[in-house]
Amino acid sequence: MCGRYVTISKIKAIEKRFQVSCADHEAYKLSTNVSPGDLAPVITGDKPGELQFFQFGFTPSWAKKQFYVINARSEGDFNKENNPKYHGAMGIIHKPMFRKAIRSQRCLVIADAFYEGPEKEKLSKPYLVYLQNGKRPFSFAGIWDQWVNEATGEVINSFAIITTQANELMEWIGHHRSPVILPRTYEQAWLSGELPLSEVSSMLKPYPARKMNAYPVDKAMKHPRADGIELLKPIGQRIYKEYDYFLYEDFQLQGMGYSRAKERRQRELFDED
């Protein structure tokens, strides 16, 4: 599952990267530990030019009470063994909770990295997972819905991140699932209301492991209210050897206004996947 992630890109970088505008910059809060219940940036198919802030934790419109469903399995009730080589049907299109949203309420969930841990230890042994070569922010494939609290009249827009079978990096960590990360070339199609279900299903694949990396971090991030740059600090080696900055070091440099590193990162940021 993908239950915690990172959003530390500046709002201007997000607007430029995704060609959107944000009407309320004050609504965006940098976070090194986005948790269920938090408001987080998304781009929806009905407003593809606007950056919005929805609650992490999906509640379908027909629910009698509020849910916090953070992930939606792409295989639905299939692949219960979480076989990483599964190539069968994407059962999400038949699940009552998700079948409306996967057809007409898809969204991009903006992120810079995410946390994952082994299936047994979970976030007691966390890793920070990110895309190599400075490719951030990126987008998870998400679905959303609007729920109204009948008692109070409060309207809540919420979302879930779609997951799929584990890639080699997730297997190395010891986790049985991967969030669906969309290549940049898929993003506009994912938002399109005209996309056939067969093409939607074809996008629900693990991101290539060798374009990602991960390193262990302190389990302090396990607490949902924990936040701050120290959560990104590595406490061990990266899984794949690299000669670039850790995300932690990069964020420190950008925060200090180190122009050369910042300029290089901006060039990398807008390269195609």
Averaged pLDDT for residues 259-271: 38
Alpha-carbon dihedral sign for residues 145, 150, 155, 159: negative
pLDDT at 267 over 60: no
Q: Do residues 130 and 91 lie in contact, with contact meaning Cβ atoms separated by under 8 Å?
A: no
Q: Which segments within the chain are labelled E, that is strand?
A: 5-7, 31-34, 39-44, 47-56, 71-73, 106-111, 113-116, 127-131, 138-148, 155-165, 177-179, 181-182, 212-216
pLDDT digits (tens, 9 = 90+) for 131-168: 998 899 999 999 999 999 999 999 999 999 999 999 99
3-state secondary structure of 135: coil
Tell me the whole-structure pTM to 2 decimals: 0.91
Crossing angle of helices 259-269 and 11-18, in 10° steps, is 30
Question: Is residue 113 within 8 Å of 247, Cβ to Cβ?
Answer: yes
Residue 244: which pLDDT band, with cuts at 50, 70 and 90?
low
Q: pLDDT tens digit string along 206-221? A: 999 999 999 999 999 9
Which tens digits make up the pLDDT trace of 75-122? 999 999 999 999 999 999 999 999 999 999 999 999 999 999 999 999
| Per-residue b or e along 56-72, where b marks 16 or more CB atoms closer than 10 Å to that residue's CB | bbbbbeeeeeebebbbb
8 A C-beta contact, residue 94 and residue 76 = yes
pLDDT of 262: 38
Mean pLDDT over 14-41 rounds to: 96
Domains of the chain by start residue, with CATH = 5-269 (3.90.1680.10)
User: What percentage of the chain carries pLDDT values higher than 70?
Assistant: 89
- Packing angle between helix 247-256 and helix 259-269, nearest 10 degrees? 120
